[in-house]
Amino acid sequence: MPIDDDPHATLAALRAEQRDLLGEADGLRRFIACMRSLIDAARSRQDVAEVYKVLDDVLDNAIRAVNARDGSILVPDQRTRELVFAAVRGDDPHAELLGRRLPHGEGIAGWVAETRRAAIVNNAPADDRFYPGLDRELDYKTHSILAAPLIGGGRLLGVVEVLNKRDGQFFSVGNKNLLSLMCRFAGEVLYAMVRDLDLSRTRTTATGSGRAGQPAGNA
């Protein structure tokens, strides 16, 4: 980087650049850690508790890998075609979301579920697909969303949604690729673990941070 007329400005810019680079390095390390835990999970026993642990781990790692504040995983109700919140994590996870249902096709998550494509939305309120109802209800402000489908065995198993990239930054294509890969791999692992369980009907009273029955807080 050339040293311009204001060395202090150059110094500030270099420090900011280093923060961004270290953040990206940390995100890539999180990605590797997530992949490793998924590989381990693929060898583990198959029961509901382990499935939810995998979901929670994927969500935790997804939020941190792309440097977001909050996130959730929604799973489809095969009967009603609604999406149901099955995991919430982050700085302000709103545990009361667990078990809540999104109508079919509603919101960015609904679009991702319908199209089976990842989405980057860096100005959520301005996007036609954005569903503002939950923001109003929870007194939350969604600025940016990055979401990707969880697919396994050719089936849509859920949608991972991470919200509000930190430090006012935008989600990038690199972030999207990381999240998409995590979801793709996680989807195959989850499919192998529990093929026929309808997760939308089983998790409304889980325990632990970011879950129903506990105060919301940092994950």
Partner 1 sequence: MSAAGGVDEEILALSVRNEQIRSQISGLREFVDSLQRLVEALDQSREDDVVMSALDESLAHAVLATGAAVAVLLVLDEDSSELVTVLARPLHEDGQLLWRRSPAASGFAGWALRQRQPLIANDARSDERFDANVDLQTATGVHSVLVVPVSGRSRTLGVFQFVNKSDHGMFDEDDQTLVALMSRFAGELMHRMSR
User: Site residues (CB under 8 A) for partner 1?
Assistant: 1, 3, 7-8, 10-11, 14-15, 17-18, 21-22, 24-25, 28, 31-32, 35-36, 39, 151, 174, 177-178, 180-181, 184-185, 188
Q: Which is nearer to partner 1, 38 or 59 (CB)?
A: 38
CB-CB neighbours of 13 under 10 Å? 13
Q: State the nearest-atom distance from the C-beta of 27 to partner 1, in Å.
A: 9
Q: State the nearest-atom distance from the C-beta of 213 to partner 1, in Å.
A: 35
Q: What is the DSSP letter of 139?
A: T
Retrieve residue 192's tokens.
């192998």
Question: 77 burial class (0-12, 13-18, 19+ CB within 10 angstroms)?
Answer: middle
Q: Which is nearer to partner 1, 40 or 47 (CB)?
A: 40
Q: State the nearest-atom distance from the C-beta of 40 to partner 1, in Å.
A: 10
Q: Which is nearer to partner 1, 35 or 138 (CB)?
A: 35
Q: State the nearest-atom distance from the C-beta of 22 to partner 1, in Å.
A: 7
CB 74 within 8 A of CB 158: yes
Q: Which is nearer to partner 1, 141 or 195 (CB)?
A: 195
Q: How far apart are CA 219 and CA 216, in angstroms?
A: 9
Angle at 200 between CA 137 and CA 181, to 5 degrees: 90
